[in-house]
Amino acid sequence: MTTVSISLGEVVATLALVAIAAAVSFWRRADLEQDLGLAVLRSFLQLTAVGYVIQAIFDSDSLWLVAGLLAAMVAFGSITARGRARAVPGALGPIVLALGTAAAVTIGLVLALGVFDAEPRYLVPVGGMVIGNSMTSAAVALNRLADEVHSGTQQIEAMLALGATSRQASRGLVTRSLRSGMIPLIDSTKTTGVVFFPGTMVGMLIAGAAPIDAVRLQLILLWTLLGSVALAALIAVSLGYRGFFTPAHQLREAATA
């Protein structure tokens, strides 16, 4: 396998481009310099720390450590998604289940199909991408769900008033929310390679891989993500809608306020 070595000096040199961003912000008074600084600092610290963690896991070659790392990612991802979907009552449970299931099923399937070997070198990056994308789709879908409930209160209550269960009354909006969780990745998959080069392919090309190998790995990852994102959004909205209702099939007051 080809390896590339990147010096800290090369990384520091790229700060020149961050300086452009800071200059733009300062010049147009966008007031983003502080955020920018924080983003640069956090990305440096977080990625460096993760780099050492991954290195340690690679060195140990322990699948248990991989499982632990992925579980931690599910936990952090769930808390982040919960923060973005604050308008959904009791969303944490559905989110944890959505991310956990999406990760377990996706990784289980790619291993079972023989796409990747059960080695930390594959499991860590693939797991990270799956969990990260699942988190985004679950959060987007739940946010949409909250919007749909708020704007559709009348319609929902009209259905409940005719004897519909909360599940029956939310069927349409659950479907629309699922769609909104799945559409961004489907769209970016459609335009991939034309409008933008996805990160994995870029990384492999820079690392010296043959373009066709880079493309194949990218396809594997994109298609894997399509599956996991759909699962995550489906589980999140299928369980998440319940937070808006009482067991007696009433819309909670917080949801209608």
Partner 1 sequence: MLRGLDLWIGNGATAILGPSGSGKSTLLRLLNRLADPDKGVVSFRGRAVRELDPLELRRRVVLVPQLPAPVPGSVADNVRYGPRLLGREVSVERPLVLAGLDASFAERDAAKLSVGEQQRVMLARALALEPEVLLLDEPTAALDEDAKGAVEEALAGLAGISMVVVTHERGQAERLARRIVRIREGRVVGEDGATEGRAPGAAREAAPRSREDGPTEVAP
Report how many residues bind partner 1 under the rule CB under 8 A.
18
* Residue 108 identity: G
257 lies in the site for partner 1, by CB under 8 A: no
Stretch near partner 1 under the rule CB under 8 A, chosen from 75-83, 122-130, 193-201, 245-253? 245-253
Query: 232 vs 245, which CB is nearer to partner 1?
Result: 245
Q: Which residues contact 15 (CB under 8 A, 6 or more apart)?
A: 40
Least Å distance between CB 151 and partner 1? 12
Positions 151 through 190 that interact with partner 1 (CB under 8 A): 154-155, 157-165, 168, 172
Please state the three-class secondary structure of 83-151 as a single string: HHCCCCCCCHHHHHHHHHHHHHHHHHHHHHCCCCCCCHHHHHHHHHHHHHHHHHHHHHHHHHHHHHHHH
CA distances from 114 to 65, 119, 189, 214 (A): 21, 12, 23, 18
CA distances from 33 to 15, 16, 46, 60, 195 (A): 13, 14, 20, 40, 29
Least Å distance between CB 167 and partner 1? 11
Query: 101 vs 155, which CB is nearer to partner 1?
Result: 155
Query: 80 vs 153, which CB is nearer to partner 1?
Result: 153
Least Å distance between CB 155 and partner 1? 5
248 lies in the site for partner 1, by CB under 8 A: yes
User: What is the number of H-type helices and E-type strands within the chain?
Assistant: 12, 0
How many Cβ atoms from other residues are within 10 Å of residue 48's Cβ?
12
254 lies in the site for partner 1, by CB under 8 A: no
For 88, phi then psi, to 5°, come to -100, 115
How far is Cα 98 from Cα 182, in angstroms, rounded to an integer?
A: 14
Least Å distance between CB 135 and partner 1? 32
Least Å distance between CB 186 and partner 1? 24
Least Å distance between CB 158 and partner 1? 4
Query: 174 vs 232, which CB is nearer to partner 1?
Result: 174
**Where on the chain is the footprint of partner 1 (CB under 8 A)?**
154-155, 157-165, 168, 172, 248-251, 253
